[in-house]
Structure 1
Amino acid sequence: MTSGPPEPYIGPRPFRRAESALFHGRPVEARRLKDMWLSERVVVLHGPAAVGKTSLLHAGVLPLLENEPHALVLPVGRLIHQPTWPLAHASGPGGYRFTLVSSWTPAGQTPDPGQPVGSALQSIVAATPRRRVLAAIDHLEELFTAFPARLAERERLVGELAEAMRDLPLNLLLVVRDDQLATLSGYEGLLGPQPFTYVRLEGLDRAAAVAAVTGPLSGSGRRYAAGVAEQLVDRLRTTSYTDRLGESVELVSERVSPFELQIACAALWTSLGSTDDTITAEQLARFGDLAGILAAYFDRTVHDVSVETGVAEAELRAWIETTFITERGTRGTAYRGLTQTGDMPNAVVDALVARHILTEEQRARSLWYQLGQERLVEAVRTANRAFHGPLVGGDRRERSPADFRAAAEAALGEGNFVSARRFADVAADRFLEAGDDRQFANLLTFKAEVARVEGDLESAKETLTAARSQFESQQDTLATVRVLTALAEVCLSMGRPDEAVDLGRQAVSRMPGDVASRTVLAHALWRAGSPADAEATYNDALDLDRDAPRALYGRGRVRISLRNYRGALADLDRALSLGLPRAEEDQARQSRQEALTALNPPRET
C-alpha cells in the first residue's frame, strides 16, 4: 500500500451514508427517488445486481432527507441473514419479521420477535410528532430467494406490512433485483389499493461515469490529465466477444457498471506512486485488463493482510472461501464474536473490511460480515484455484463443532433464539469434548450475546463472568479485556453505571493501549454522573487513535452536557464522516441537531 493521499474510491461494496461526499454521477436519480418516496405509498427501486441501488439509497437519497421537516426516516431495513452453513433452516416463524424490525428499532431497545410489524412501528414512532414515516427495505429479493420454502411466513409478513400501511402514514421504498421483480409484482394488490410506483436504475451513462471517476478526487491533491478519465470510461464500456468461428468483435455499451468502475478506479489508484499527482494516459495504458482486476485485487489484499496479521496466506484464502461462500455458490455470513469471527482473529476481519473484500452490517445488535459483492464469489474462487487448486471439503458428511457454531450464529441473525441457544450448547459441548478450551470460552461469549439480544441481561452477565474466568485461566489478556468491556456494557444496560466504571477500569489497567475499553469506561463515567472525567477519558482514547469514531461520538455527547456545543459539533461531524454503526449514526445526528439548536435557538415570536 502506498503512503500517498487517502483512497477516494470505495471498491467492491456499496456506499455508506457517511460517504456521500464521494458519491458522484447520480444527482438526478437521487432527487427523483427522494421526491417519489415522499409522495407515493409504495415505490419499487429495481435494477440488475451491482448496479448501485443500495449506494443510491444510502449515499444519494438519505442525505437529501436529513433535514426533511415533514417526514420521519427510519434506518434502512433488511429481511434475512443467509447462514454460512445451511444447517439451521428450520427456524421459527418470525425470522423475516425479527430482522426487519430489529433494523428499524432504535438502539437500546430489544425487538420482540412475536410482535407484528405494525405494532412494532407504532412503538418506534410513538415518541415523535405525527409525520409521514419513510421506511425502506433493501435487498427485498431475499424474501423470495433466501428460504423459498417459507411461503406462509412470507405471506404473513406482507399482510403485516399491509396492515401497518392502513394504520400508519407509512411510505415504503422496496429495493429489489430485476430477476425478482415479477415475483414482487404479484403482491402489488395485497399491500394496498394504490399501484406500485416503479423506478428502474441502470448503469452510468458516459457523462455520469466520468463524474463518478473524477468527482471523488476533489481535495485529494490528484487529478486526471485531460481526456484520461474519458479514456478509462470508454475502456469500461468496451468488451470483447469471440464468436464460434474465432472472430473477435469489440462491443461498446452505452452504460458503465458502477461496480466495475469502482474496482477499476481503486486498482488504478493503488498502482500509483506516492508522489504522483496527475493520472496520465501512460499510466492508464499500463493498467491491467478489466477481467483480471478483481481477482488481482483479491490476491494483493490477501498478501497484504497476511503480512499485516501474521496469518498464513493459504490459511486466509481457505478461510475466506469456506466461510463466506456457501455450498450453493452464494455469499455466506459470519457473526463477530468478542475476539474471533469464524475461527479467525477479529484483526483479520477488520483488515479485510478496510480493504473492501468484506462488508459489515449491524443486525440484531450484533456485527455480521459477508463478501462485499456477489461478483467476489467467482473472483475468490478463481484466485484460489490459481494459487493452490480448488478447495476440497464442500461436501462435509460429519458436522463439526464449527458447523454448529455457524448454525447458532445464523439462527441469532434470524431472531430464532431457541435454535441459537440449542446449536450453541451443542457446539460448546463438542469443543469441550475435543479439548478446545479457547473455542468453548468463545461459545460462552456468544451465548451471552444471545441472552443480551433477548433482553435477559442477568443471564448475559452470568455467562460473560464464566467466560472471563475461562480466558483468565488461559492467560489471554486481549480476550479478558474484551469480556470485561462487554460486562461493563451489560451493566450499563442494567442501570448499574458504578459497576460498569469498575469493570472498565479493570479492562484499561490490563491493556492501557486499548481504545475500545477506554471508550466504554468514558461512557460509564458519563452515565455515573462524572462528565468531566468522562471527557478526560475520551481524550485519552483519542490520543491513542484520533480517528476512533465511537470515541468522537461519545465525547461529542459529553460536550453537549458540558455546554461546549462547538466542540460537540466538531466531534460529531468527524464521527459521522468516519462512519458509525447504524444506531449510533442516528443518535449522533440527533445529538448534532441538539447542539445546533443550542447554538442557534429559535427566536420567540
Structure 2
Amino acid sequence: MTALPGDRTAEPYVGPRPFRRAESALFHGRTEEARHLRDAWLSERVVVLHGPAAVGKTSLLHAGVLPLLEEEPRPARTLVLPVGRLIHQPTWPLALSSGPGGYRFTLISSWTPAGQAPDPEQAVGAALESVIADTAPRRVLAAIDHMEELFTAFPARVQERERLVAELAGALRELPLNLLLVVRDDQLATLSSYEGLLSPQPFAYVRLEGLDQPSAVSAVTGPASGSGRRYAAGVAEQLVQRLRTTTYTDRLGTSVEIVSDRVSPFELQIACAALWASLDDGDDAITPDRLAQLGDLAGILAGYFDRTVRDVSMETGVPEPELRDWIETTFITERGTRGTAYRGLTQTADMPNPVVDALVARHILTEEQRARSLWYQLGQERLVEAVRTANRAHHVVPARGRPQEHTPADFRAAAEAALGEGNFISAHRFASVAARRSLEQGDERQFANLLAFQAEVSRIEGDLEAAKQTLNEARSQFESQQDALSTVQVLTALAEVSLSMGEADEAVDLGRQAVARMPGDVSARTLLAYALWQAGSPADAEAAYNDALDLDRNAARALYGRGRVRIALRDFRGALADLDRALALGLPRAEEDRARAAREEAQRRLGL
C-alpha cells in the first residue's frame, strides 16, 4: 500500500504505475520539468508533452503540474479542467470498446463535472461551453493524456478521428482554450501531421527524458524523508549509479558495460520498492549492506518480470512456462538485443493477442506503428537481462550455445512480416516453407493453420480462386482433426470468398454449415445473414441477424448488417437505431464508411 510521508509502515514508492494527484508529496526529481510545463501550458494554445513509454509523462502531469496550478498563484479566472482521456480505462478488456459516442463522448465525459451527464450528440466546443458557462473564465486549461490512443486504440475509425480533430480546432478558435496533449514518442509524428489542422499557431513541444543523476537521487531519497527512515551516506548515490549502468551480454558470453547519463523512472520505482520491501521493521537506516543484499538491478527487474508473468498467466490461462519461453525466444535475439514481433489478426508470433495486450499494459512490452502494421518489443533495454535471469531460475528455456535450425514458427513470423509490408511473394514463400516443415515434423494442426494463413495472403492479394482452393484444403485438415472451432472459421472465410466471387447461394450453404456446427458462433450467424441478404432474401436475413444479436446484443457488425437490411425492408427508424449503435460500438474502416452512408440514407427517407 502506498501512503503519504509520515507513515513508516506504508510503501512510499508507487512501483511501475503512474503517480496519482494525491501522491504529489511522494513525487520528487521533476521540479524543473513541472514548472516548465506549467508555464508553457499557461502561455501556449497547444502544448505537446512527449517522451518514450514509461518515462513518467502521466506522473508529471498529475503529481507535478496540477498541484502547482492549485497551490501557487496563477492568472485570475483560469479554469483547470479534469484530465481528459479518449477511451475508457476501467480494465484492459473494456478499453477495447469505445462506449457511446466514441472518442468524443469519452473526452467530454472526462471534462464534465461530477454529477452532470454529458450529451453524446454535442460537439466538443459546445460541450466545453456548457462546462464553463457558470464561471466565464479568461483562460481554460484542458489536457488529454495518452493522446496516442486516438491513433492506436481504434485505428479504423478515421472519420471519427478527423471529426474530433476538427471539433478541437473549432474549440480552440471559439474559446479561450489552452490545450495540453500528452503523447508517446512513437506517435509524435502522426500527431504532428495534424498541427496545421488543429491550430493556426505552431505547437509548443516539450520532451520529457529520464532523470539526470541529481534528480534521480532526489526521487530515491525524497519519498522516504517523512517515513522515519533514512538512506545512509552514499547509498542513494550507489543505487542511482546501478540504475545508470547496463551490462549487455550476448549468447557467447561477450559483455560490455554502458553508463547512461539518465535513469528510467520506471526502473527506479521498481528498484526502490524492492529495496523498501526488503527492510526489517526495526531498520531505521538503509545501509550499504542492505543495498548489497538486494542484488543487482537485473535481479530486481527479474522479480518484477516474475510477478507479471504470474499475473498474465492467471489472467489469460497461458501456462507460465510457455509464456516465459515465448517472451524470451520472441523478443530477445541471439545477440542479446531486443527483437520485434508483428501483430497478426488474432495472434502475435503464435501467441493470442490478449496476452500481448496484457504485457503491454504492464510495460513488459511496448508497441509501435511501422509499415502500416503494429509491432512489439520489450519495453526497456534492461529487461533483456531481467528476462534471461528470471527464466534461468525457472529452467524453462533450453540452453542455446550453438545456432539452431530455423523452426516453422520462424518462417511463419517472416511470412507475417512480409504480409505486413505488402510483399506477397515473400509472404507466400515463407508460409510455404513453414507449412512444409510443419508437415515434416508431424504437426498437422500447425500445418492446417498455415494453410489458412496462405489463403488469407491470397485473398488480400486478390487471387480468390487460390484462396478458395487453399481454404478447402485447410477445411479438410481441420475436419480430420475434429477441430470444430477452426472448421467453422474456415467455413466462414470460404463463404466470404464466395460472396466476393458473386456466388451468394454457395455462401448461404457454407454459412448454414457453419451455424449447424456451432450454433453459438455470432460471426457465423452474421455471415449467414449477410449471405441471405445478398441472395435476395432480406426478411430471412433480418431473422438471422436477430439470432446473432440474441447471442450478443453488442455485436457491431450484426447491428450494421441489420440496419442495412431494415432500409431494404423500409423500417427506417429501426435501421437508424441499429446503425447508430453499430457506429458507437466500432466497425472496421470500410464498413464504418458504408454504415455512415446507410445512416444518411435512413435519415433522408425519414425526412430528417
- The TM-score range, normalised by the shorter chain, is 0.5 to 0.7
Equivalent position of 2:22 in the other structure:
18
User: Of 122, 130, 147, which aligns to 2:137?
Assistant: 130
C-alpha deviation, 1:294, in angstroms: 3.7
Equivalent position of 2:53 in the other structure:
49
User: Of 548, 551, 560, which aligns to 1:426?
Assistant: 551
Moved more, 162-171 or 374-383: 374-383
State the Cα deviation string for residues 445-476 of structure 1 (Å, max 9, x = none).
Answer: xxxxxxxxxxxxxxxxxxxxxxxxxxxxxxxx
Distance 2:95 2:57 in 1: 31
User: Of 161, 181, 186, which aligns to 1:179?
Assistant: 186
Where structure 1 has 5 or more consecutive residues not aligned to the other structure, the ranges are 306-312, 335-355, 359-372, 405-421, 430-605
C-alpha deviation, 1:423, in angstroms: 9.8
Per the alignment, in what secondary structure is the counterpart of residue 134 of structure 1? strand
C-alpha deviation, 1:106, in angstroms: 1.0
Distance 1:320 1:374 in 2: 22
Per the alignment, in what secondary structure is the counterpart of residue 256 of structure 1? coil
Distance 1:80 1:320 in 2: 30
Contact kept? 1:264, 1:290, Cα under 8 Å:
yes
Per the alignment, in what secondary structure is the counterpart of residue 174 of structure 1? strand
C-alpha deviation, 1:131, in angstroms: 2.4
Question: Do structure 1's residue 226 and structure 2's residue 233 form an aligned pair?
Answer: yes
User: Of 249, 261, 275, which aligns to 1:254?
Assistant: 261
State the Cα deviation string for residues 242-268 of structure 1 (Å, max 9, x = none).
Answer: 368643111000000001000000011
Question: Do structure 1's residue 327 and structure 2's residue 354 form an aligned pair?
Answer: yes
Contact kept? 1:78, 1:137, Cα under 8 Å:
yes
User: Of 59, 66, 70, which aligns to 1:62?
Assistant: 66
State the Cα deviation string for residues 387-441 of structure 1 (Å, max 9, x = none).
Answer: 7979xxxx9869999999xxxxxxxxxxxxxxxxx99963699xxxxxxxxxxxx
Contact kept? 2:86, 2:107, Cα under 8 Å:
yes
Equivalent position of 1:114 in the other structure:
121
Percent identity between the aligned chains? 69
Gap change, CA 1:278 and 1:252, over 3 Å in 2: same
Distance 1:425 1:384 in 2: 46
User: Of 169, 179, 182, which aligns to 1:162?
Assistant: 169
AA partner of residue 148 (structure 2):
E
AA partner of residue 357 (structure 2):
T
Gap change, CA 1:188 and 1:109, over 3 Å in 2: same
- Of structures 1 and 2, the larger Rg is shown by 2
Distance 2:129 2:55 in 1: 34
User: Which structure 2 residues correspond to residues 30-45 of structure 1 after superposition, within 5 A?
Assistant: 30-45=34-49
C-alpha deviation, 1:205, in angstroms: 0.2
Distance 1:160 1:96 in 2: 12
Contact kept? 2:48, 2:206, Cα under 8 Å:
yes
Contact kept? 1:263, 1:294, Cα under 8 Å:
yes
Distance 1:263 1:158 in 2: 37
Equivalent position of 1:284 in the other structure:
291
Question: Do structure 1's residue 8 and structure 2's residue 30 form an aligned pair?
Answer: no
Contact kept? 2:87, 2:95, Cα under 8 Å:
no
Question: Do structure 1's residue 27 and structure 2's residue 54 form an aligned pair?
Answer: no
Distance 1:166 1:423 in 2: 45
Contact kept? 1:329, 1:377, Cα under 8 Å:
no
Gap change, CA 1:331 and 1:187, over 3 Å in 2: farther
Contact kept? 2:19, 2:63, Cα under 8 Å:
yes
Distance 2:303 2:158 in 1: 41
Equivalent position of 2:83 in the other structure:
76
Gap change, CA 1:94 and 1:300, over 3 Å in 2: closer
AA partner of residue 27 (structure 1):
T
Distance 1:27 1:217 in 2: 17
Contact kept? 2:244, 2:259, Cα under 8 Å:
yes
Gap change, CA 1:244 and 1:7, over 3 Å in 2: closer
C-alpha deviation, 1:290, in angstroms: 2.1
Per the alignment, in what secondary structure is the counterpart of residue 357 of structure 2? coil
User: Which structure 2 residues correspond to residues 70-469 of structure 1 after superposition, within 5 A?
Assistant: 70-81=77-88, 94-242=101-249, 246-297=253-304, 299=306, 315=314, 318=317, 326-327=353-354, 329-331=356-358, 426=551
Contact kept? 2:313, 2:319, Cα under 8 Å:
no
State the Cα deviation string for residues 66-103 of structure 1 (Å, max 9, x = none).
Answer: 153331000000112488569977x7893111111111
AA partner of residue 354 (structure 2):
E
Contact kept? 1:326, 1:332, Cα under 8 Å:
no
Distance 2:282 2:197 in 1: 59
Bigger RCO of structures 1 and 2 (CA < 8 A, at least 6 apart): 1
Gap change, CA 1:317 and 1:145, over 3 Å in 2: closer
Gap change, CA 1:92 and 1:279, over 3 Å in 2: closer
Gap change, CA 1:388 and 1:264, over 3 Å in 2: same
**Aligned positions, number:** 368
Contact kept? 1:401, 1:426, Cα under 8 Å:
no
AA partner of residue 330 (structure 1):
D
C-alpha deviation, 1:331, in angstroms: 4.0
C-alpha deviation, 1:327, in angstroms: 3.2
Distance 1:140 1:26 in 2: 22
Gap change, CA 1:230 and 1:160, over 3 Å in 2: same
Per the alignment, in what secondary structure is the counterpart of residue 356 of structure 2? coil
State the Cα deviation string for residues 324-350 of structure 1 (Å, max 9, x = none).
Answer: x9437234999xxxxxxxxxxxxxxxx
AA partner of residue 83 (structure 2):
V
AA partner of residue 155 (structure 2):
P
Distance 2:140 2:319 in 1: 39
Give TM-score, length-normalised by structure 1: 0.53
Gap change, CA 1:174 and 1:423, over 3 Å in 2: farther
Equivalent position of 2:400 in the other structure:
none
AA partner of residue 9 (structure 1):
Y
State the Cα deviation string for residues 214-270 of structure 1 (Å, max 9, x = none).
Answer: 001111011111000000000000001236864311100000000100000001100
Contact kept? 1:93, 1:153, Cα under 8 Å:
no
Distance 2:157 2:379 in 1: 23
Contact kept? 1:37, 1:171, Cα under 8 Å:
yes
Distance 2:205 2:379 in 1: 24
AA partner of residue 239 (structure 1):
T
Give TM-score, length-normalised by structure 2: 0.52
C-alpha deviation, 1:114, in angstroms: 1.9
C-alpha deviation, 1:127, in angstroms: 1.3
C-alpha deviation, 1:145, in angstroms: 1.3
Distance 1:269 1:162 in 2: 47
Gap change, CA 1:184 and 1:301, over 3 Å in 2: closer
AA partner of residue 257 (structure 2):
E
Distance 1:282 1:117 in 2: 57
Contact kept? 2:88, 2:94, Cα under 8 Å:
no
C-alpha deviation, 1:320, in angstroms: 12
